[in-house]
Structure 1
Amino acid sequence: MGRTNPTYRDMLRAAENRWEEYRRALRRQDQPHFDRLFEHARTYADASGYFNHQYVEIPILVSIALAQEKRIAALEEKLDAGEDTE
C-alpha cells in the first residue's frame, strides 16, 4: 500500500514550486540568496517532518531562522576571536 499523506519533503517541494514565479521575478543576483533559504529548510527537513505542523510554512520559516542564527553566531565568534588577537 502507498502513502496516503504527503511527506514533509513532498510539501516542501510543493511550497518551493509555488514560489517559483516570485523567484523568477527577483533580480538575478538575488536568486541564489532566495535558493539558499530553501536549502536551509531542506537542511532541517527531518526535524520539520517530525514536528508535523499543519502549515508547511511554519517549519520552513523556523528552519530558515535557525540556519541564519547559526551563521550569525559563527560570524560573531570569528569577530570575537579576531578582537582577542589584537
Structure 2
Amino acid sequence: MGRTNPTYRDALRAIEERWAEFRRALRRRDQPRFDRLFEYAREHADASGLLNHQNPLLPALLSIDLEQEARLDDHEERLEELEAAVAARDDQESAPPDANP
C-alpha cells in the first residue's frame, strides 16, 4: 500500500516546482542563489518533516533562515579574525624599532 501523506521532501519538491517559473524569470546571476535557498531547506528536511506543519513553506523558510544565520556567524568570525590580524600588523608597524641592530 502507498502512503496517504506525502513526505516533507515531496512537499518541498512540489514547492520548488511551483516556483520554477519564477526561477526562470530571475536574472541568470540570481538563479544559483535561488537554488541555494532550496538546498538550505533540504538541509533541515528531517526536522521539518518531524514538525509535520500544515504549510510546508513555513519550515522551509525557517530552515533557510537558520542556514543564513550560520553563514552570518561564519562571516562575522572571519571578519573578527581579519580585524585582529590588521590590528596586530598595525601594532607591529607603529612599535618603535629595536635599539639593537
Whether the TM-score (by the shorter chain) exceeds 0.5 is: yes
Cα displacement (A) at 1:85:
2.0
Provide runs of 4+ in structure 1 moved above 3 Å: none
Report deviation, 1:51: 1.0
**How many aligned residue pairs are there?**
86
CA distance in structure 1 between the aligned counterparts of 2:29 and 2:84, rounded to whole angstroms: 35
Alignment of 1:34-49 (within 5 A): 34-49=34-49
- Structure 1 stretches of 5 or more lacking a match? none
Indicate the structure whose relative CO is greater, using CA pairs within 8 Å and at least 6 residues apart. 1
Q: Give the gaps of 5 or more residues in structure 2.
A: 87-101
Tell me which structure has the larger Cα radius of gyration: 2
Q: Distance in 2 between matches of 1:77 and 1:50?
A: 32
Would you say 1:72 and 2:65 are equivalent positions?
no
TM-score (norm 1): 0.96
Q: Between the two proteins, what is the percent identity of the paired residues?
A: 63
1:19-38: per-residue Cα shift (whole Å, max 9, x none)? 00000000111100000000
